[in-house]
Amino acid sequence: MAKQKETDHTAINLVGSGTTIKGEINSKGDIRVDGKIIGEVRSKGKIVVGDTGTIEGDIFCLNADLSGRVNGKADVTELLSLQASAIFLGDIIANKLSIEPGARFTGTCSMEKDAAAQKPQGNEEKKS
């Protein structure tokens, strides 16, 4: 019996303007939000929040490009970009962060490349 390959999920999921979704969203593909999501959003790809988009909840993704409003925590593995029209209220955990002039960010930011590389140094015993 032949092994079946798992297909790549490169679909782009769209929440259109005027649409409100309440609940948790999990996707292997990219997500674009021009409407409103109330709840946690997880993507193995990119999350884009357009100018009219709003997320009230935490986001977890590989990359994020925010032009709209997010109220919650953002845990981004690679790059988080806050465009000039973005309003972000909450905490950011990202490897890289880009903030355009005009964007508003209120919260804390932690930039960690790799948990293993962040282990404290100097705990070894010194030999005389």
Is 124 part of a structural domain of the chain? Answer: no
Is 115 part of a structural domain of the chain? Answer: no
Residue 11 pLDDT: 79
Is 53 part of a structural domain of the chain? Answer: yes
Q: How far from the centroid of its chain's Cα atoms is residue 105's Cα? A: 14
Is 95 part of a structural domain of the chain? Answer: yes
Is 38 part of a structural domain of the chain? Answer: yes
Q: How far from the centroid of its chain's Cα atoms is residue 7's Cα? A: 23
Is 34 part of a structural domain of the chain? Answer: yes
> Domain range holding 41?
12-110
- pLDDT band, very low/low/confident/very high, at 113 (cuts 50, 70, 90): low
pLDDT of 128 strictly over 60: no
Distances (CA, A) of 67 to 10, 88, 93: 22, 9, 18
Instruction: Give me the torsion for CA of 31, 40, 82, 61, rounded to 10°.
Output: -60
The whole-number average pLDDT for the span 110-126 is 55
pLDDT of 127 strictly over 60: no
- pLDDT band, very low/low/confident/very high, at 116 (cuts 50, 70, 90): very low
Is 122 part of a structural domain of the chain? Answer: no
Tens of pLDDT, residue by residue over 43-70, are 999 999 999 999 999 999 999 999 999 9
The whole-number average pLDDT for the span 10-15 is 84
Is 116 part of a structural domain of the chain? Answer: no
Higher pLDDT, 3 or 85: 85
Structural domains in the chain (count):
1
